[in-house]
Amino acid sequence: MKIVGTRIREEPATFRTAMATAGIALGSSREGRWIVERACAVSSDALLKILDDAVPESVSEAVDLMVARRLAGEPLQYVLGAWDFRGIELLVDRRVLIPRPETEQVVDVVLTELAKSAGPSAPVVLVDLGTGSGAIALSVALEGASDASRVRGDVRDRLEVWATDLSADALDVARSNLALLASSNAAAARRVRVGQGTWYDSLPRKLVGRVNLVVSNPPYVSEAEWQVLDPQVRDYEPRMALVPGSTGIEAIEQVVSGAPEWLAPGGTLVCELAPAQAAIAAGLAEGAGMVDVTVRHDLAGKLRVLVARKRL
């Protein structure tokens, strides 16, 4: 505020003060900075250069709106409209689940399995069932095909990644993310195909018995767990992405039971789950005739990723 003659004039907000004000309102200076960055669509580095510039009215209004949404309980990722997953900026909104850190580890498992692949000259087909924002499919298409990956060159060149979901809304988001990937890495994006339908019904029948790797992070929350979930999750994320049915195991059952039909001999299933489901899921995989069945831990030490192979 400045005294000009007898009048008191409000100083226009600068980016520095806008960040501070948003940070105080939210109790997090980091969130305040991210929201201002997003509202003015600049990177952190670019923002540092304009800290003492006046904030345009339109940016102020956008910041106020985002802070209000956040204060009402909306997850930060939806408020920002984008979130980082293994270095890819994914568009996220209420049509898709917010990609989680545990799922970044699922991609690690997939890349390790792909690194073991070798063999005939047929395409290497990977399917991501329940792709949501496209997090798993797009990161595998990008990282699996990069020179820096441990995946063999001949496998990388033949990689074909299917991103499928039952939700048309989720697939719209996945397609937008695929278009963004295409603008930065057209070769990686060309490896991705999109399909709609329930689990394996989303795939063309010509892939029966020819899929090298099935990966899925299916919904795995039970009806009873959903009732007491954190409201930030329950009230904002799509119920369909969280709850497959009353027990929570229904989608895992479908993904596991369909795997032997769709996988090529020696092909691998990688499926995220809740720790309490590990024994049941491993039993389902064994019951379906799969071998080398293990459940891997996540970084928090919790059982999280079922890995099973179709017999050669």
Ligand X SMILES: C[S@@+](CC[C@H](N)C(=O)[O-])C[C@H]1O[C@@H](n2cnc3c(N)ncnc32)[C@H](O)[C@@H]1O
Residues 206-235 close enough to bind ligand X by CB under 6 A: 217-219
- The residue range among 130-138, 154-162, 222-230, 280-288 that interacts with ligand X, by the rule CB under 6 A, is 130-138
By CB under 6 A, residue 178 contacts ligand X: no
By CB under 6 A, residue 165 contacts ligand X: yes
| Token reading at 215 | 């990966």
Sign of CA dihedral 110, 113, 118, 124: negative
Residue 300 has what DSSP assignment? T
Smaller CB separation from ligand X, 18 or 136: 136
CB of 172 to ligand X, least distance (A): 12
- The residue range among 41-49, 91-99, 184-192, 298-306 that interacts with ligand X, by the rule CB under 6 A, is 91-99
- The residue range among 9-17, 74-82, 147-155, 161-169 that interacts with ligand X, by the rule CB under 6 A, is 161-169
Checking phi first, is residue 87 left (phi over 0); if not, alpha (psi -120 to 50) or beta? left
By CB under 6 A, residue 203 contacts ligand X: no
- The residue range among 12-20, 128-136, 179-187, 275-283 that interacts with ligand X, by the rule CB under 6 A, is 128-136
Report how far residue 106's alpha carbon sits from residue 149's, in angstroms, rounded to the nearest whole number.
16
CB of 36 to ligand X, least distance (A): 27
Q: Contact with ligand X (CB under 6 A): which of 136, 181, 284, 305? A: 136
Q: Contact with ligand X (CB under 6 A): which of 58, 198, 227, 246? A: 198
By CB under 6 A, residue 170 contacts ligand X: yes
CB of 86 to ligand X, least distance (A): 11
Extract long-range pairs of 191-195: CB within 8 Å, 24+ residues apart.
191/141, 191/145, 191/159, 191/160, 191/161, 192/134, 192/137, 192/138, 192/141, 192/161, 192/162, 192/163, 193/160, 193/161, 193/162, 193/163, 194/162, 194/163, 194/164, 195/162, 195/163, 195/164
Q: Which residues contact 96 (CB under 8 A, 6 or more apart)?
A: 132, 133, 169, 170, 173, 174, 238, 241
Smaller CB separation from ligand X, 131 or 212: 131
- The residue range among 21-29, 76-84, 124-132, 185-193 that interacts with ligand X, by the rule CB under 6 A, is 124-132
- The residue range among 129-137, 152-160, 204-212, 285-293 that interacts with ligand X, by the rule CB under 6 A, is 129-137
Q: Contact with ligand X (CB under 6 A): which of 67, 79, 97, 127? A: 97
By CB under 6 A, residue 277 contacts ligand X: no
Q: Which segments within 80-186 are labelled E, that is strand?
A: 82-85, 88-91, 124-129, 159-165
Q: Contact with ligand X (CB under 6 A): which of 60, 77, 103, 139? A: 103
The count of residues interacting with ligand X (CB under 6 A) is 23
Mutual angle of helices 29-40 and 15-26, in 10-degree steps = 130
CB atoms within 10 A of CB 274: 18
| Token reading at 132 | 């949501």
Q: Contact with ligand X (CB under 6 A): which of 15, 34, 199, 262? A: 199
The continuous run of DSSP H or E covering 214 comes out as strand 211-216
Sign of CA dihedral 66, 70, 72, 73: positive
Residues that bind ligand X (CB under 6 A): 96-97, 99, 103, 129-133, 135-136, 165-167, 170, 198-199, 217-219, 240-241, 251
